[in-house]
Structure 1
Amino acid sequence: IRRIFAVRNGNAACNILARFANGMSASVECGSKLPAGTEDMDRHEIIARRGVASDRAVDTQVPQSSIYEWTDKGPAAFTDVDTELFGLPNEQIWVVRAAFAILMKGELAPIWNQAAADMKKYADAIIKSDAENKPVTL
Structure 2
Amino acid sequence: MNYQIQFARLPPSESIREYVERKLVGALKKFSRADSGRTPWQITIEIGRDTFHHKKGDVWFAEVSGQTSYGFIRVRKEAGEIYEAIDLIEEELYSQLSRSKGKLIAKADRAARRIKNMMRLSRLARFFRRGRIRDEGI
With structure 2 as the length reference, what TM-score do the two structures score? 0.26
* Larger CA Rg, structure 1 vs 2: 2
Select the structure that is richer in strand.
Answer: 1
Select the structure that is richer in helix.
Answer: 2
Q: Choose between structure 1 and 2 for higher RCO, CA contacts under 8 A separated by at least 6 residues.
A: 1
